Amino acid sequence: MDIKTFVKSWLRNPQLAGPSGNAVTPLHVSQDAIQSVAVSLSKDDAKTLTHQVNDLIARDDVMEAISDQVGEPRPDESEDEFVSRAKGVVRQVIMRTLNGTS
């Protein structure tokens, strides 16, 4: 299952579990994550930026780009490795989208 399909499934069934059986959340950036990177942001600014980044990730074109680049888990890839690789792709896609270089 690709990431775009997974996220759409999760939105219909938020109790969806990953391969390890643990509950999972779809692509989502937390306010804590934003504040840990941008320490000079106020709490309100971090909250606003968190919503903006999550809205960006939820756009169909961005989700499609993430899904296309991540693809399916590789046969020799653990769940943790897949998640790590996907996080890197999410960062790259967000930066390219914000910079206007798809």
Q: What tens digit of pLDDT does each residue of 23-81 get?
A: 545 555 555 655 555 556 677 877 787 778 778 887 889 888 988 999 888 999 988 89
Q: How would DSSP label each residue in 36-69?
A: HH-TTS-HHHHHHHHHHHHHHHHSHHHHHHHHHH
Instruction: Assess whether pLDDT exceeds 90 at residue 14.
Output: no
Domain boundaries, the chain: 3-99
- Alpha-carbon distance 14 to 80, whole Å? 20
